[in-house]
Amino acid sequence: MDTIRLDESQIAQAAAILRAGGLLGIPTETVYGLGASGLDSEAVGRIFQAKGRPQDNPLILHIPSADWLEKYCKGIPPAAYALAERFWPGPLTMVLRRAEMVPDVVTAGLDTVGMRCPAHSLCRTVIAAAGVPVAAPSGNTSGRPSPTTAEEMLQDMDGKIDAILDGGPCAVGVESTIVDLTGETPRLLRPGGITLEQLESVLGHVTVDAAVTEQLKEGERPRAPGMKYRHYAPKAPVTVVTGEPAQSAAYIAAHACAGDGVLCFDEYAHLFPGCTVERLGSAERPEEQARHVFGALRRFDGTPVAAIWAQCPHSEGMGLAVANRLNKAAGFHIIHAGEGEA
């Protein structure tokens, strides 16, 4: 099929594609999504085919305003309203009990559903115009880094989806934060555009799921099914190096071979002559790193690098989300650069 490229003047056409059961690339503030009507099981089934996504990995339902929550969820706790009030529209997904009308294919048979109201106004406008909640995973082929521009999404999806609505580059660059509100205490399943500190300012203590920071053990089942798959991975193997930025940079400079790829903070880019260097942004600015991480990982695939080294930020604020994406891209192959080691 020919994938049509739409812009903001063509919202009605984009909405018609969703209503007719088609697949639409949608811009959000986090990453581009691969959307279909969340009430149309067949259309949602085609999302899984286009991505090559395992059937047991549920999708997030996107809604244009918090008042739609009650149509698709039940037993909504006060914490959900408090979070919606503070962070919606925005990069936050809440896992809640689902209403019966949400198709099984969306939730992969779970009795919960991930709900998100995106901050990108074009995204909310097209969903409201379609009049249906939009089920959408990130718009990459399963396993690849998520797309943060329409061009990146077309690298994976050209010819596989009906159209893409170009809303410009994504402002956040990593996916939404996922918080599960169905248990005794709120649990962070995936760090993202809303920080753990921001969540805790509303909720008090939030448990961080082990899958955020560690490799799952053989046979272990994560609470967000998607956390068990290898993710965001460029073709070449990635090694993440943690520690103070000057130390991780020195470690990589001492160990990288000529021709390797290096993903580093801007301040250290000059230390790797002979390597293919991609910049994450300033070591001081994890928000900037979040905007660059996926594009940089993708660009290595167009180069002959045999190995990639990545400097990793500390896990405060948005650093937790950036570190999580890098660690997953590396299959949790992490080296701690300590004093004197370099």
Kind and range of the H or E element at 84? Answer: helix 78-87
Task: Give the one entry of ligand TXA, Mg ion, none that residue 33 binds, where binding means its C-beta sits below a cut-off of 5 to 8 angstroms depending on kind.
Answer: ligand TXA
- Please count the other Cβ atoms lying within 10 Å of the Cβ belonging to residue 244: 13
CB of 188 to ligand TXA, least distance (A): 12
Residue closer to ligand TXA, measured from CB, 210 or 246: 210
Residue whose C-alpha is closest to residue 56's, from 8, 96, 104: 104
Site for Mg ion in 121-160 (CB under 5 A): 138
Sign of CA dihedral 223, 314, 339, 341: positive
Residue closer to ligand TXA, measured from CB, 61 or 337: 61
Residue whose C-alpha is closest to residue 146's, from 27, 239, 237: 27
One-letter amino acid at 230 equals: R
Residue closer to ligand TXA, measured from CB, 104 or 244: 104
Task: Give the one entry of Mg ion, ligand TXA, none that residue 36 binds, where binding means its C-beta sits below a cut-off of 5 to 8 angstroms depending on kind.
Answer: none
Task: Give the one entry of ligand TXA, Mg ion, none that residue 178 binds, where binding means its C-beta sits below a cut-off of 5 to 8 angstroms depending on kind.
Answer: ligand TXA
Residue closer to Mg ion, measured from CB, 138 or 327: 138
Task: Give the one entry of ligand TXA, Mg ion, none that residue 195 binds, where binding means its C-beta sits below a cut-off of 5 to 8 angstroms depending on kind.
Answer: none
> Which residue, judged by CB position, is nearest to Mg ion in the bound state?
138
Task: Give the one entry of Mg ion, ligand TXA, none that residue 113 binds, where binding means its C-beta sits below a cut-off of 5 to 8 angstroms depending on kind.
Answer: ligand TXA
Distance CA 34, CA 138 (A): 6
CB of 213 to ligand TXA, least distance (A): 15
Binding site for ligand TXA (CB under 6 A): 28, 30-31, 33, 57-60, 91, 93, 95, 107, 110, 112-114, 116, 136-138, 175-176, 178, 189, 223-227
Distance CA 198, CA 172 (A): 15
Structure-token pair, residue 231: 């993710």
Kind and range of the H or E element at 242? Answer: strand 238-242
Environment class of residue 155 by beta-carbon count within 10 Å: exposed (0-12), middle (13-18) or buried (19+)?
A: middle
Environment class of residue 67 by beta-carbon count within 10 Å: exposed (0-12), middle (13-18) or buried (19+)?
A: exposed
Residue closer to Mg ion, measured from CB, 103 or 145: 145
Structure-token pair, residue 279: 């910049």
Q: State phi, psi for 198 to the nearest 5 degrees.
A: -65, -45
CB of 226 to ligand TXA, least distance (A): 2
> Which residue, judged by CB position, is nearest to ligand TXA in the bound state?
226
- Binding residues with Mg ion: total (CB under 5 A): 1
CB of 114 to Mg ion, least distance (A): 12
CB of 99 to ligand TXA, least distance (A): 13
Structure-token pair, residue 267: 């301040």
Residues 6+ apart with CB under 8 A from 49: none
Residue closer to ligand TXA, measured from CB, 93 or 311: 93
Query: What helix, strand, coil percent values describe the chain, rounded to 5?
Result: 35, 20, 45
Task: Give the one entry of ligand TXA, Mg ion, none that residue 60 binds, where binding means its C-beta sits below a cut-off of 5 to 8 angstroms depending on kind.
Answer: ligand TXA
CB of 232 to Mg ion, least distance (A): 8
Residue whose C-alpha is closest to residue 292's, from 259, 316, 269, 273: 269
Task: Give the one entry of ligand TXA, Mg ion, none that residue 225 binds, where binding means its C-beta sits below a cut-off of 5 to 8 angstroms depending on kind.
Answer: ligand TXA
Task: Give the one entry of Mg ion, ligand TXA, none that residue 57 binds, where binding means its C-beta sits below a cut-off of 5 to 8 angstroms depending on kind.
Answer: ligand TXA
Q: 320 in helix, strand or coil?
A: helix
The contact set with Mg ion (CB under 5 A) reads 138
